[in-house]
Structure formats: C-alpha cells, structure tokens
Amino acid sequence: MKTEKKLEEILEYFLDYLAVERGLAENTLIAYRYDLAKYLNFLKENKLQSFDCLNREIINNYFLYLKNLGLEINSISRNLVALKMFYRFMWTENFIPEDISGLIEFPRLSKKLPHILSQREIDILLEETNFQGPLGLRDQAILELLYATGMRVSELINLKVEDINIENQMLRCIGKGSKERIIPFGSKAKQSLILYLKKVREKLVKNPQETILFLNSRGKKFSRQGIFYLVKEYTCKAGIDKKVTPHTFRHSVATHLLENGADLRSVQEILGHSDISTTQVYTQVSRKWVKEEYYRAFPRT
C-alpha cells in the first residue's frame, strides 16, 4: 500500500465487491466511488500513502476537509459511512492488519423534513393544459406516474412496457437491491398512459426491439438528468415557486396518502422502504401540514 496506484486498485476491488457480492445498483456504486475518491484526494494532498495510517487526528482533519468542500453535515455523514464500510472491507480482506473502522464516528445529523407539494400545487402542476403536443402527452404520463406511484427516478426510467398492467392499474417495479414490488396507480395515470402508448410511443421508437416504456425524442431511454430537467420545466410552466425534483413527487404522494388515512405499512410497501422508520418521517410532515393549515385558517391566532 505504498503508492497511489495501489490505493486506487484497492478501491476498485472494493467497488467490485459491492457490485458482485452485495448486488448494489449502478447509481449506488457511482455514489460510493464519488465519496471515496474524495478520501483518496485527501490522502494525496496530505502525502499519506497507506490506508492503515488512520487515527482520530486524520479523521478530524478529513471532516474539516469535507466541510471546506462545502458539504453539509448529512453529506459528510454519508461520506464517513462509505469510508467505514471501506475500512471494514479492507480488514476482512487483509489489506490492513487490524479493524480500525471504529475510529470513524459520525456527526449528529440534522433531521430535515422532506419538502412536498400541496394537493393544490399537484393539481396545478398536472393540469392538462400544461402539456402540449405528442411530447406533452408523454411528459404528462411521466409526471402522473411519478405522483401516482412515488417511484424513484431510477425505477421510472427502467420501466418496461410489459411492466404495466393498464387494465388492473398495477405496475411491476424493480427497486433498490433488485427487489421487485407491485404498485397500484390511479385513473388519471391510467388515462395518460393509454394516450401515450396509443398515440406517442410508437412514433418515438427507433428500434422495434425496444422495450423501455418512456423514450426521449431520440427513441432512447431517459437519463436521470432528463427527468430532472422535465420536472423543472413543468414546475416553471405551472408557476410554482419551489425547488421541485422527481423525488418531491415521492415525498408528496407519501404524505398525501397518510393524510387521507392510508395505513403506514401499505405506504411502506408502495415506496419500497426496507425500514418502516423511513416511512414514519412522512407522518411528521403530515402533522406539520395540519398545524400550518390550522394556524392559516383559525380566526383566533
């Protein structure tokens, strides 16, 4: 472990392990590579040429290094989680002589409630007049399905035509860790999908063997950035002065379902959360919304 090249080789070995042994998704692997590359840069800048030199002073300095990069506490914590996993892996694979991952401690996280759109804002955003022409019909189907199902962007862009059961208003989704789940969707999403499939998709298809559901103007699968851009475009068009991302739809539908009496376990299943405590965050959002509505409407405040 004396050279920079050797450090990079160990990192690549770790990423191969995550892909093959742990079966992590490509986007997750990219995030691990990005986070750990910062640690390699930190070692290089400080002329540290081995991984087993870790001590509390180095961890504290790395924390300050990440902070100086402009990262928030939650992002710093994520970087340290990746680093801790990396060190445990190196110990089990005998790259370092002892398990020193215990030196890596995490900062106290700030618990931020997810930002959501109100039901009224969703209605404004999904108003039919916002969507013009064939590509507008496609975009409408995408946004309706994002809200109806709470899918992640990676799940949406990988949907295939055969994953959709229009008649029963259900779809098959492959989520994190290649876990499959079945998600229902409402009549608005159904109508939008029917129009897209009948009038638009066949005109976008360049390859008759293509099975991906949503195609861009070049007949290819959407990128994550393409969906982010699409959401931003229609948010601006609807005049909604909020930062809205595809994940905002996920947060919003979860909150709206709970506000309207949905069972917490059902929402957990729909969203594909492995831990129900993740889903419980939305009950806090719901209570916060109720409180805000109360003080907005109650005449004696």
Residues catalogued as catalytic: 152, 176, 247, 250, 273, 282
Count the Cβ atoms, other than its own, within 10 Å of residue 232. Answer: 14
Looking from the CA of 280 toward its CB, the CA atoms found within 13 Å total 5
Specify whether the CB–CB gap between 253 and 149 falls below 8 A: yes
Count the Cβ atoms, other than its own, within 10 Å of residue 83. Answer: 20
* Both structure tokens of 271: 């969203």
CA distance to 77, 148, 204, 248, 264, per residue, from 122 (Å) = 33, 11, 28, 10, 22
- What gap in Å lies between CA 16 and CA 205, rounded to an integer? 34
SS3 75: helix
- What gap in Å lies between CA 104 and CA 35, rounded to an integer? 15
Specify whether the CB–CB gap between 130 and 121 falls below 8 A: no
Nearest to 135 by CA among 224, 190, 201, 198: 201
SS3 171: strand
- What gap in Å lies between CA 117 and CA 263, rounded to an integer? 21
- What gap in Å lies between CA 25 and CA 23, rounded to an integer? 7
Specify whether the CB–CB gap between 248 and 115 falls below 8 A: yes
